[in-house]
């Protein structure tokens, strides 16, 4: 199958996924507004009591970006599981089209939807007074890291959506991803956490990723580029492999 055909089939599935998301107005609104509400909560309720060595809004915005990823993953996993349980994947597999087009369409739609949510959240932060010191290269670096992370988590969401038996379970499992940034440097410095928690907080994926994004946006260059990229590759690889294994089983049943 040629590349143009693969891209055309994937685009058709992407449009299908996008239309279904747009029809689920309540789900879409929640996924777009919840990160903003959390940002407002932390900035104006808790932020005054949290010392991060500068304006709390500047500190928390990269964490909100990661939070958008978790909410977006929940929608993707639920949509994938719905296709699995309703037989959509089986029907599409019988058509003369790129066999993985539906999965690729879900990944592309999840990436674009989540990046749009991140863009809206950053726009609201700017309206509230967020003024990052990053230049064009800093924004590009932050955008690259967060995009890789969104791709990785979206593949994890696809794999989970294919592996569970009902959309509610898929949404619940991936919704747990939204809690990972809370136990990281996304909202508070890890040094303020209990010693028994610091080890996990400093060595889980969210901390190096959010620190790298924050370092790019505040133009300090802080962060752990290599560790962040390794985590993105590992998570994306795990999600891709999991989805491939489940999809391969479908082909042999």
Q: Which two tokens stand for residue 151?
A: 């791709």
Contact 161, 173 (CB under 8 A): no
Q: How far apart are CA 223 and CA 227, in angstroms?
A: 9
- Mean pLDDT computed over every residue of the chain: 86
CB atoms within 10 A of CB 222: 11
Instruction: Give, rounded to a whole angstrom, the gap between the first and last alpha carbons of the chain.
Output: 23
Number of independent structural domains in the chain: 1
Q: How far apart are CA 44 and CA 38, in angstroms?
A: 10
Tens digit of pLDDT for each residue in 21-77? 888 888 788 888 888 898 899 888 887 888 888 889 999 999 999 988 988 888 888
CB atoms within 10 A of CB 248: 9
- pLDDT at residue 1 tops 70: no
Q: Which residue range is the domain that position 50 belongs to? A: 3-251
Tens digit of pLDDT for each residue in 157-182? 999 888 888 877 777 777 778 888 89
Burial class (CB in 10 A: 0-12, 13-18, 19+), 129: exposed
- pLDDT at residue 96 tops 80: no
């Amino acid at each position: 199958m040629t590349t143009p055909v693969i891209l055309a089939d994937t685009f058709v599935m992407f449009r299908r996924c996008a239309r279904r998301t747009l029809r689920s107005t309540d789900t879409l609104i929640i996924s777009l507004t919840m990160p903003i509400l959390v940002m407002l909560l932390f900035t104006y309720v808790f932020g005054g009591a949290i010392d991060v060595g500068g304006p709390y809004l500047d500190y928390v915005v990269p964490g909100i970006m990661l939070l958008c990823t978790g909410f977006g993953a929940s929608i993707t996993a639920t949509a994938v599981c719905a296709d699995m349980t309703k037989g959509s994947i089986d029907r599409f597999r019988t058509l003369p089209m790129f066999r993985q087009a539906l999965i690729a369409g879900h990944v592309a739609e999840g990436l674009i939807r989540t990046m749009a949510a991140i863009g809206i959240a950053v726009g609201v932060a700017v309206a509230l007074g967020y003024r990052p010191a990053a230049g064009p290269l800093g924004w590009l670096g932050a955008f690259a890291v967060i995009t890789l992370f969104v791709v990785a988590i979206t593949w994890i969401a696809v794999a989970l959506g294919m592996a569970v038996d009902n959309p509610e379970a898929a949404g619940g499992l991936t919704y747990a991803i939204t809690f990972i940034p809370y136990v990281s440097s996304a909202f508070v410095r890890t040094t303020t956490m209990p010693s028994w928690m610091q080890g996990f907080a400093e060595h889980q994926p969210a901390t190096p990723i959010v620190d790298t994004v924050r370092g790019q946006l505040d133009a300090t260059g802080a962060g752990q580029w290599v560790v962040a990229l390794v985590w993105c590759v590992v998570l994306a690889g795990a999600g891709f492999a999991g989805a491939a294994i489940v999809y391969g089983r479908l082909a042999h049943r």
